[in-house]
Chain A
Amino acid sequence: MKLTVNGEAYEAKRAESVTALLEEMGFGGRAVVVVLNDEVIPASTRSTCVLREGDCVDLFRLVGGG
């Protein structure tokens, strides 16, 4: 499935849910927040949130800052 992840084209093998995509990308269990088509997906609904062809996914995390 063709997605845009963090602004770049990404061919997802597993896209049955946001959780599956995160695991495929190596972000499983890491503290990231998922924005799907400009909408924040709460962690509690990731496993039931289905992705569709052409979806835009952005992943953010906390880093050091002042």
Chain B
Amino acid sequence: MKRQGKLKDEWIVGGHRFSSRLLMGTGKFQDAETMVEAVLASGTQIVTVALRRVGRIPQEDDMLGPLRRLEGITLMPNTSGARNASEAIRAARLGRELSGSPFVKVEIHPNPHHLMPDPIETFEAARILAAEGFVVMPYMPADPVLAKRLEDVGCASLMPLGSAIGSGRGLATTEMLRLILRDARIPVIVDAGLRSPSEAAAALEMGCAAVLVNSAVAASGDPIAMAAAFAQAVEAGRNANLAGLMPRGGGTALATSPLTAFLSVEGQ
């Protein structure tokens, strides 16, 4: 039997090829060293970063200095803190200037209580930034209608939430994700809400191109070990998707072993 080759299992976003299907956030880590070690253990090729005004006194906690020295890591600045499209567009342009990367995670969540993405402002920012040549990866509600609209205006991927940011509530949007996956012609990445590697595996099994995690790793007992566990999970989930799951049963059992009496003769 011919086995699925894994060497060429790449995915493409905005014309850029990646083999790792795990994207990592860099927030919430206790120190830069742990963050960098977790990034390395995850095997990720895309990491998100945020943008802030600097304080009057230069801080020495430059967490991103070590990241820039890593080979093969693409920085994806986010627009967190933006409350509307115009602030997000401004943040995206500053992020591009600082990172030298065309990737942007459009992230507009005006309500600090639930941090749900604003679909209207997100759409408007995505439309303008895509036209400016950014590789736009919008953090979005798990809404198949919005997904299609974002795809139509030139987004490079869709990043629907699994559940609220940092909540660890897992894949609460599974049914909507299936609808998005059914019609999407660009990569679908579950971003936000994941807690355990098994949830990442489930997203990949379902057909998602990748997942993005941050708190699940940074707030875990051992961020470096958890990053490695997520790397294994996305690989397992992807391989399962390629292999194809068995058909679901109709509520009755189907034996895996011969049902003839134990002492009967084989083949009779």
Contacts and interface: CB of A to CB of B under 8 A. Distances in A.
Interface of A: 5-8, 25-27, 30-33, 35, 40, 42-43, 58-66
Contact of B94 (A27, A40, A66): A40
B20 interface: no
A63 B63 contact: yes
A35 B51 CA distance: 13
Interface string B206-218: 0000001011000
Interface stretch (B75-83, B225-233, B251-259, B260-268): B75-83
B49 to A, nearest CB: 5
A3 to B, nearest CB: 12
B58 interface: yes
A12 to B, nearest CB: 13
B185 interface: no
Given A6-B53, A6-B54, A66 B48 contact: yes
Contact of A30 (B52, B58, B77, B99): B58
A64 B77 CA distance: 10
B154 to A, nearest CB: 23
B49 A64 contact: yes
A64 B63 CA distance: 7
B58 A62 contact: no
Interface string B44-68: 0000111111111110001111001
B56 A66 contact: no
B215 A66 contact: yes
B64 A62 contact: yes
B168 interface: no
A60 B215 contact: no
B165 A66 contact: yes
B112 to A, nearest CB: 15
A28 to B, nearest CB: 9
B114 to A, nearest CB: 16
B35 interface: yes
B52 A63 contact: yes
Name the residue in A7, A58, A62 with the highest tally of chain B Cβ atoms < 10 Å from its Cβ: A62
B97 A6 contact: no
Nearest to A27: B58
A64 B35 contact: yes
Nearest to B76: A65
B148 interface: no
Contacts of B29: 64
16 contacts: A25-B58, A31-B64, A32-B54, A40-B93, A40-B97, A58-B53, A59-B53, A60-B52, A60-B53, A61-B98, A62-B75, A63-B27, A63-B49, A63-B50, A65-B50, A66-B165
B78 to A, nearest CB: 6
Given A64-B27, A65-B78, A65-B80, A33 B98 contact: yes
A42 to B, nearest CB: 7
A64 B64 contact: yes
A30 to B, nearest CB: 7
